[in-house]
Amino acid sequence: MYRVVFIPFTAIDHHKKPVTVGAGLLSNESIESYSWLLKAFLKTHGKEPTFVLTDQDAAIKQVIENVFPNSKHKIMFVAYNEKVEKQGIILIYFKYVT
């Protein structure tokens, strides 16, 4: 309906629980939009995240390399298998980007 992209920033607290530390709404998935958002995050939090988990979008990959050069970037692959899907399970694979 609104055609916006929701970008959550989630951290892990000292109890190993996820905590939302920020979020952004973007009108598009361009390099400029991602760059603006990640630079705003960096300015607000004062340091790069240890690692970043994203989908396979090429624009976000490029921006992470430029804005968070010291962060480890993981790409989340979601694999749908017809047999597994019938059981209500979705397999998720993670891959380090170097």
The residue segments making up the domain with residue 84 are 5-97
CA 63 to chain centre: 11
Tokens, residue 41: 């995050």
Sorted by sequence, the CB contacts under 8 Å of residue 77 that are 6+ apart come out as 56, 92, 93, 94, 95
Number of domains in the chain: 1
- 38-77 pLDDT, tens digit per residue, is 999 999 999 999 989 898 889 999 999 999 999 999 888 7
Question: Are the beta carbons of 68 and 49 closer than 8 angstroms?
Answer: yes
Tell me the whole-structure pTM to 2 decimals.
0.76
Measure the CA–CA gap between 45 and 40, rounded to whole angstroms.
Answer: 9
